[in-house]
Structure 1
């Protein structure tokens, strides 16, 4: 593959894998309301950084503050997020996952990991080695994209 074709091929394959994983997981029954991608991303972020504020979450997810506020309202109404007053500024809110959200994320993570693990195990050793060898380059690509997005 020539270098000019690589970016399009990479984007196509990566987004296709992500879409297929989401579709497969959505087919399996889950308890509670069905969540959209941005809602799951916010829940995962709050679970990883309990107490994060709305503006910090918006910055981390590269979303507008009002979009994150809407997501917070939806997830709070669904019983998946809790808001607590900020430590320094009582007008700010700290976001915390509920036990229901933590359980849901744990099940989702286990199902996703199992799905991908099963598919990776079906690959031959040469393909598994190629994927392993590509991980450092993919991480550097992700770091470069993150730095580009964060640049003013």
Structure 2
């Protein structure tokens, strides 16, 4: 790997790790699978109960109608509650159900267990390199978010 190919190789590695983690955890979940966008929306609503559809769409970088479709599916599955916003009767506020919180908790535990098991298979130098990379990856995510917010 050289400086010229590093950005592409890093992006490929991150996408590959995320995809494999999502697939492995999804396969271990006993309930019908949720798509990645559904899990992301549930996580956002759990972190910010009462968020509106347009704010969720902005946060997830999705079209409002796409988020509205996801919300409808998750309401039908019993994972979200849609309430009328008392400040604006035309807007909806989203709240997670206990089933959503339980599912997200199970997802996070299984994801952490999977990564923990896989890290244990690496040598100490590789584990140390990954540990040291986490702050830089968080900064990279923040700069990507800032740039997206400015566009």
Question: Under TM normalisation by the shorter chain, which class is it?
Answer: over 0.9
How do 1:5-44 and structure 2 match up within 5 A?
5-31=5-31, 33-44=32-43
Residues matched between the structures, number: 151
* SS in structure 1 at match of 2:4: helix
Output one character per residue of 1:82-108: Cα deviation in whole Å (capped at 9) or x when no partner: 011113112211100111111111101
- TM-score normalised by L of structure 2: 0.95
For 1:145 and 1:132, locate their aligned partners in 2 and report how far apart those are by CA, in whole Å: 21
For 1:105 and 1:136, locate their aligned partners in 2 and report how far apart those are by CA, in whole Å: 24
For 2:49 and 2:17, locate their aligned partners in 1 and report how far apart those are by CA, in whole Å: 29
Structure 1's consecutive aligned runs of 4 or more residues displaced over 2 angstroms after TM superposition are: none
- Map of 2:50 onto structure 1: 51
For 2:33 and 2:23, locate their aligned partners in 1 and report how far apart those are by CA, in whole Å: 12
How do 1:138-149 and structure 2 match up within 5 A?
138-149=137-148
Output one character per residue of 1:30-71: Cα deviation in whole Å (capped at 9) or x when no partner: 22x321111111001001100000000000000000110000
For 1:74 and 1:43, locate their aligned partners in 2 and report how far apart those are by CA, in whole Å: 11
- Map of 1:108 onto structure 2: 107
Q: Unaligned regions of 5+ residues in structure 2, if any?
A: none
For 2:29 and 2:74, locate their aligned partners in 1 and report how far apart those are by CA, in whole Å: 19
Output one character per residue of 1:110-132: Cα deviation in whole Å (capped at 9) or x when no partner: 00000001111221111111111
- TM-score normalised by L of structure 1: 0.95
Q: Unaligned regions of 5+ residues in structure 1, if any?
A: none
For 2:85 and 2:8, locate their aligned partners in 1 and report how far apart those are by CA, in whole Å: 43
- The alignment's C-alpha RMSD in Å is 1.1
With 129-138 and 42-51 compared, the bigger mean Cα shift is at: 129-138
- Map of 2:91 onto structure 1: 92
Q: CA deviation at 1:29?
A: 3.8
For 2:131 and 2:25, locate their aligned partners in 1 and report how far apart those are by CA, in whole Å: 24
- Map of 1:119 onto structure 2: 118
